Amino acid sequence: MTDPDLANIQQKALGDVLAAGTLAELEEARVAHTGRRSPLAVILAGIGGLPPERRGVVGKTANAARRAVEQALTERTGVLEAEEMGAALERDATDVTLPGDLPPLGALHPITQVRREMEDILLGLGYRVADGPEVETEWHNFTALNTPEGHPARSSSDTFFIEGRPDRMLRTQTSPVQVREMLTRTPPIYLVAPGVVYRRDDIDATHSPMFHQMEGLAVDEGLTMAHLKGTMLHFFRELLGSEREILLQPHFFPFTEPSVDVQVSYIDKAGRSAWLELAGAGMVDPNVLEYCGIDSERYTGFAFGCGLDRIAMIRFGVPDLRLFFENDLRFLEQFS
Ligand code: DAH
């Protein structure tokens, strides 16, 4: 074994390391030049068998060669890793200036939009939102609302009853929420109760067996018809425009006395003005207060109820009630 041999081995190893263009090629060079069967390893393993005077010099040179090759491997590894990382980054680069894929955005149903607006107006007057069950008892839906047995509204031709539960029915109005709230709270009470109601109606452009109502109730000391009128005027002006006027016309509801129809001024597309009947209202009948355990000598109250679907039709110019329930996206997308 001569020194030029070692020099050649080192030369060849360093050349291969530098020539490796990928980490895989570099790994091949590492195995070939520093692995157990590499020429350098064989020389190092054979040092013990050399004549003593050669051992020192061959050992020194061979170890120096191994260190040089190992250092070259380390450096080349760093270079190739950086290169491969750079290439991967370039390959996977994202152009953040490209427009993204927009997921289809939903929107609130027009009935929901109107309901929220109505709630907001009344919340602004200090009302709170109340809720009640859609499957009601006849007592809450009728009896406590001063609608005695035998009243035509209670007949099965107007109301859906529940089979096998003679006392249960789908509520025909949101008014029973008044009863539930008055039974569990003490005045002052200011509540708004939106919800779904059910009646045995055939479906057409202006009728549906399922529709939406919103109930309002105020019970306090000293409430009069003037408070009712002011509340209705504010409510409809906020909802439909500050130019609206309202007209209260005498009417009958079992649970209010006196009772009125609330009519709201309206200019149609042809410029003709008209009155639209948009709510029922009245002073809470003292009988109802007493049914609900409220002292009718001390407290008075007013109530109002309106159909949400009808107001949404006017609000959005929708000609057919059925559109609200059919869930046709071509219709619904217009409200997003
Ligand atoms: N519940 C009535 C209906 O469905 C509407 C109504 C009228 C509600 C007068 C009221 C009211 O609170 O005072 O026709």
SS (H, E, C) 167-191: EEEECCCCCHHHHHHHHHCCCCEEE
State whether the beta carbon of 280 lies less than 6 angstroms from ligand 1.
Answer: yes
- pLDDT, residue 4, reads 66
Q: What is the pLDDT of residue 96?
A: 84
> How do strand 128-129 and strand 189-198 relate by DSSP bridges?
parallel
Q: Check: CB of residue 179 under 8 Å from CB of residue 289.
A: no
- Does the pLDDT at position 189 exceed 90? yes
Question: What does the pLDDT average to over 262-289?
Answer: 93
The CB of 253 under 6 Å from ligand 1? The reply is yes
Ligand 1 atom at minimum distance from 178 CA:
12
Question: What residues have CB less than 8 Å from 161, skipping those under 6 apart?
Answer: 168, 169
Strongest mean pLDDT among 2-11, 70-79, 95-104: 70-79
Which percentage of the chain shows pLDDT scores above 90?
A: 72
The yes-or-no verdict on residue 305 having pLDDT over 90 is yes
Q: Is the CB of 223 under 6 A from ligand 1?
A: no
Note the Cα 175 to chain centre separation in Å: 29
Helical H segments across the chain, by residue range: 3-19, 23-34, 39-46, 52-91, 110-123, 138-141, 176-184, 225-240, 286-291, 308-316, 323-326, 329-332
pLDDT tens digits for 138-172? 999 999 999 988 888 788 778 999 999 988 999 99
Q: How far apart are CA 316 and CA 336, in angstroms?
A: 12
How many angstroms separate the alpha carbon of residue 246 from the centre of ligand 1?
A: 17
**Residue range 252-263: average pLDDT?**
97
Contact 211 CB / ligand 1 (< 6 Å)? no
Residue 256 in contact with ligand 1 by CB distance below 6 A: yes
Which atom, in ligand 1's list, is nearest to the CA of 256? 13
Q: Look at residue 1 and tell me whether its pLDDT is greater than 60.
A: no
- Ligand 1 atom nearest residue 284's Cα: 13
Q: How far is the CA of 269 from the centre of ligand 1 (A)?
A: 29
Nearest to 303 by CA among 313, 294, 312: 294
pLDDT, tens digit (0-9, with 9 covering 90-100), for 87-146: 889 888 888 888 888 888 888 999 999 999 999 999 999 999 999 999 999 999 999 999
Evaluate: CB of 305 within 6 angstroms of ligand 1.
Answer: yes
CA–centroid distance, residue 260 to ligand 1 (Å): 10
**What pLDDT does residue 2 have?**
58
Continuous segment of H or E residues that includes residue 196: strand 189-198
Instruction: Tell how far the Cα of 281 is from the centroid of ligand 1, in angstroms.
Output: 6
CA distance 320 to 307: 15
